[in-house]
Each structure stands twice: as structure tokens, then as C-alpha cells.
Structure 1
Amino acid sequence: MYRFSYSEILADAPETGRARERAAFDQALTLLRDAEAGRLVGPERTAAVGRVQDLWNALIADLLDPGNGLPEALRDDLVSIGAWTIREAGEALRTPGRSLAALIAVNASIRDGLR
């Protein structure tokens, strides 16, 4: 799964932690793009959308951890983005024909910001 505590990331070089996070976003984005293109349907589409929810659930838990060393304002912004992502993914699960473009764009921006 994608669960890395902030302390685990700090134990590594910062570049390694960011690389892990980018890899998790890359995997989720690949699945979302495949679902958006119609290559994943039914349960596979559900799993793809669920993957981005799982990613953000893990990230939010880590962001809310008192030991997280990111600046408070940044943590708050990321939690807000994560909450939106989870809600939007929920709407996509309830409406199978719903576009995933917004989810893809937001998560790609976050992934790109990890560089």
C-alpha cells in the first residue's frame, strides 16, 4: 500500500520520500487515466477510483499526525485537497459515466509538485 509515516520518510533522504510519494501518485494516475479512456470498466474502474481514495486516506492520516513536520498551512491545504479528492472519487463511484478528468488533473498537479 502507500502508507509511509512522515517519520519513515524523514529517516530516508528527502528525495527518497518524495520519490515514493510520486510513485504512489503515478500508479494511481495510470489507473485513473486507463479508467477514463475506457480501458478499465466495472470492477476494474471501481478499483482504480478506490486506489486514489486509499492513497489520500493514507496521506491525510499522515498529514494529521502530530509528528508531521510540514508547515501547518501546507498540511491544511493538502488535507483540503485530499478531502475534495475523496469526495470527487465517491461521486465517480456512484456515477459510473462521470468523467475522471478533474481527479486526474488535481492529482497530477500534486504529483508534479513533489519534484
Structure 2
Amino acid sequence: MFEFSYNEVIDDSRQVMRARERGAMDRVIDMLRTARDRGAKSREAIEGLYYLRRLWAIFLEDLRNPENELPEQLRAGIVSIGIWMNREIDRVLSGQTNDLTPMIEINEIIRDGLK
């Protein structure tokens, strides 16, 4: 029988969670790249933007959870990015901008930080 310490199990859980977060970020980045190529009014753009909004809603909910172990200042910074992301989504959906590149780049930076 295998014996694992509590910390090993917790570390594995965190690694699994980060891998899932990276996978979700990879998916949304791919969706946004396709949307950028097809145009901000394309079906792919709408689907990508709504997926992005749902993903950030999950992140924001987790960041607001008092049990979140990230340092408070880091959480606040990521929450600010999430608020910005939602504003940018609204700007694209309302036709104020067609530029998806800033959202792609910010999500790439965050994804790369999950390694």
C-alpha cells in the first residue's frame, strides 16, 4: 500500500488544478485567435468571448473565496485584470473595438504564470 503525506496529496491537487486552468486558458486563447482571424463579429468571436467571460467568472469567484491561498495583493491584481477583461469583452460585443489581441496577450501571460 502506498503512503503519502498530506502535503504531497495537497501539492498534487494544486498541480491538477493548475493543469486544468492552463488547459482552459489554452482553449480560450485558441478560440480568440480563431476569432481574431475570422473577425470580431464572427460566430467564433461570439463563442470565444462568451467562453472567456465564463472562464473569468470562475476565476473571479475563486479569487473572492476567503479560502483562496494566493497572497491578497496578487488576488487583487488578478481581480483587476478580470474586471478589465469583462470590460474589453463588452467593448468588442458592442462594436466599440474589433481588437482581440490585448485579451489574447493578457490571457497568454496569465496562462504562462500557471506553470
| TM-score, L = length of structure 2 | 0.83
CA distance in 1, matches of 2:96, 2:48: 12
- Equivalences for residues 99-110 of structure 1 within 5 A: 99-110=99-110
Structure 1 residue identity aligned to 2:54 = D
How far apart, in 2, do the equivalents of 1:40 and 1:99 lie?
A: 7
* Amino acid corresponding to residue 36 of structure 1 in structure 2: R
Shift of 1:13: 2.8
Residue 99 of structure 2 aligns to a residue whose secondary structure is coil
Q: Name the amino acid aligned to 2:85.
A: T
Distance (Å, rounded) in 2 between the aligned partners of 1:40 and 1:89: 10
Answer with 98-107 or 30-39: which moved more.
Answer: 30-39
Partner amino acid, structure 2, of 1:113: G
Distance 1:17 1:52, change over 3 A: same
The one-letter amino acid paired with 1:31 is M
Measured against aligned partners, the alpha-carbon deviations of 1:42-72 in whole angstroms (never above 9, x if no partner) come to 3332111111111101100110011111110
Instruction: Report the Cα offset of residue 23 of structure 1.
Output: 0.3
Task: Determine what percentage of the aligned residue pairs are the same residue.
Answer: 37
Q: State the match for 2:4 in structure 1.
A: none
How much does 1:14 deviate? 2.1
8 Å CA contact 1:34–1:40 kept in 2: the answer is no
- Aligned runs of 1:20-39 on 2, under 5 Å? 20-38=20-38
Aligned residue pairs total 106
Match of 2:17 in 1: 17
Q: What is the TM-score with the length of structure 1 in the denominator?
A: 0.83
Partner Cα separation in structure 1 for residue 82 and residue 45 of structure 2: 20
Unaligned runs of 5+ in 2: 1-9
Of structures 1 and 2, the larger Rg is shown by: 2
Runs of 4+ in structure 1 deviating by more than 4 angstroms, as ranges, are none
Worse-matched range after superposition: 70-79 or 38-47: 38-47
Return 5+ residue gaps in structure 1 as ranges.
1-9
- Which position in structure 2 is the counterpart of 1:3? none
State how far apart, in whole Å, the 1-side matches of 2:96 and 2:54 are: 18
Letter in 1 for 2:64: L
